[in-house]
Amino acid sequence: MSDNIVMYSYKKSEYDHINEHEKKRLRHSISSLRENSSEVPIYLFSDNPTMFLKTFDAWHDVNILPFSKNFDPKIPSAWSIHRWYNLSAFSENTRILYVDSDTIFHSNVSYIFNTYTSRDVYGKEERGFRHCPITGSGKNIRKSLDYVDTCIRESGGKTDVYKYCCGVLLLNNGLHLKINSRLKELTELMYELMKGDIPYPLPNSRIADQYAIWILLSRIGADCGLFGVQDVTHSFLESKHEEYFNPIVLHYTTRDEQKFAESDNKYSDLIRETEGAQGREIDPYSIV
């Protein structure tokens, strides 16, 4: 029998205002998860666990754990790839729904675990890619997408993979341990991308860690699937939900956070007076 868990992972920022904002995001996300799913185990990994000890009361029942000892905070994209190192905490039979802090749950998460069972990994494609339901991309999008596939193959990829946004991912069939066992490859990929030894086919440098994971999943030969657009969103709002808003998981994203925060007064503490460039998400194929 498999154990189903929800996992978060956060690396402390050097900026206090970012850490405080992250606490607000996590409080909203975990509260909404608990309101709809009272028994699912929740794990929050942090390189500074004490910063969250007062954030969640006993009702939230969150397992707050330190980062894996194998994680090196000096590696490229250390701000984001720590999640993969922390996968070693779970057994082969564990099914892991990894979510970023900018997520809200609108229904029982057991629906996700019960519906998406056969593939090794399920997620949503990053903005601009073939299976992303969000409208808009560059005029040369088809050529650009083909170039991404070519680069993945030239970097050792063996199978076709969806170009996942890593903000909401379901890992089945022990895939988390396969990823964790090949983190040396991931680190090498990040250094190769940083030095320009292998081509980076995306205009948005902030998702280099995701591109490296696409390569790793392709090398592993992971059996990839997609969440249905009715069940998991990747913006606020996706057109599917304009008339009736009921996703299981809303990934509102940093890019759309202000629209989300203004949509309901209970999220008003996420409204920023000024929105700086740091942390904003960009459409990888935006023509603006």
**What's the pLDDT tens digit per position in 123-156?**
999 988 888 888 766 667 788 889 999 999 999 9
What pLDDT is attached to residue 72?
95
What pLDDT is attached to residue 274?
61
What pLDDT is attached to residue 2?
63
Domains of the chain: 3-270 (3.90.550.10)
What distance lies between CA 18 and its chain's CA centroid?
A: 18
What pLDDT is attached to residue 35?
97
Dihedral sign from CA coordinates of 217, 225, 251, 4: negative
How far apart CA 181 and CA 83 sit, in angstroms, is 13
Instruction: Give me the tens of pLDDT residue by residue for the chain, a chain 288 residues long.
Output: 569 999 999 999 999 999 999 999 999 999 999 999 999 999 999 999 999 988 898 899 999 999 999 999 999 999 999 999 999 999 999 999 999 999 999 999 999 999 999 999 999 999 888 888 887 666 677 888 899 999 999 999 999 999 999 999 999 999 999 999 999 999 999 999 999 999 999 988 889 999 999 999 999 999 999 999 899 998 998 888 888 888 999 999 999 999 999 999 999 999 987 644 444 444 444 422
pTM of the complete model: 0.93
Three-class SS state of 122: strand
Scan for tokens 């009736």, then name that residue. Answer: 244
Strands ordered across the beta sheet of 224-226: 62-66, 42-46, 3-10, 94-99, 164-171, 121-125, 224-226
